[in-house]
Amino acid sequence: MTGFFDEQGFIDEAIAMIQESIPAPGKAIIACSGGVDSMVTATLASKAIGDRLLAIYVDSGLMRKGETDEVEAMMKNMGINYKVAHAADEYFDALKGVEDPEGKRKVIGEKFIRVFERHAREFGATYLLQGTIAPDWIESGDGVRDTIKSHHNVGGLPKDMNMTLVEPLRDLYKDEVRQVARKLGVEASERQPFPGPALAIRCLGEVTPEKVEIVREACFIVEDEIMKAVGNGEAVRPWQYFAVLLPSKSVGVQGDRRAYGYTVAIRAVDSIDGMTATFSKLPLEVLNRISVRITDTMKSQVNRVVYDITSKPPATIEWE
């Protein structure tokens, strides 16, 4: 983005907007994933309406390794009123047989709302806060723009949702959200983006617990090895970096025996606001360490690792 952005001015306006949109004694819940968008929204809302806000982190079974504990610690440190909703079985049941990316997003979007509605009733909330930012609604399309992909918090929302939606970050881009996060002292300010549908859209084809476990471990290895390389001065930290599990299998070799396993794709990109991106030119030695570690760790499941060298456009950052 270009031009001057007044973080404190935005914070003051956002708090006033939330207070006006959710007048006392109204209560609200927020879908809090632990990413910078939702954490900034939760922090602003907590300042605006205090304990009339309940932040709900949904453990969908689709999150990254250690994510639930990490997010819970962040919300505790920020003093936000929160609750963890465990709903993995619900999500996997709802995703059975669904292979189409748009279908996954809509299933997950509806499931999120249904989980939130249950907890909203218990809390007595009639408002739903979301960390929706400009790229979310731009890519989700409308009557004028084409739908690139339905973000679960926009195009994936069910039409019969019975809560009033409040989106204080709607006109911001990712770099501006990070500026606000730094001003607020939010721990997630430098956290790399993570999609709302989580690992479901990094697991191409039907989503199963077994496949999610594979891509969860692969994502952990990618993140860990890249951060080690950054710490050692071997690489510059990309804007976003992760693994994708492809739905097809290929022939490989383990020792002197034939193996038949999945392919994992590594994705790392550089961007400012997420609207465009270029693939990161990671050193070959770093990519080699990632490949060896993935195939050694999951010998019976993965036998091939590839690197995605496509920019956005023509690709999107996530594969689905």
Query: What is the largest distance, in Å, between two alpha-carbon atoms of the chain?
Result: 70
Annotation: binding site: 33-39
Annotation: binding site for ATP: 33-39
Tell whether omega for the bond before 25 is within 30 degrees of 0, i.e. cis: yes
Determine whether 6 is exposed, middle or buried from the number of CB atoms within 10 Å of its CB (0-12, 13-18, 19+): exposed
Report yes or no: 129 and 80 within 8 Å, Cβ to Cβ.
Answer: no
Signed CA dihedral, 137, 37, 56, 208: sign only? positive
Report yes or no: 266 and 290 within 8 Å, Cβ to Cβ.
Answer: yes
- Write out the two tokens for 236: 């510059």
Closest by CA position to 132, among listed 110, 180, 106, 165: 165
Q: Is 37 left (phi over 0), alpha (psi -120 to 50) or beta?
A: alpha
- What's the rounded Cα separation, in Å, for the pair 59 and 35? 14
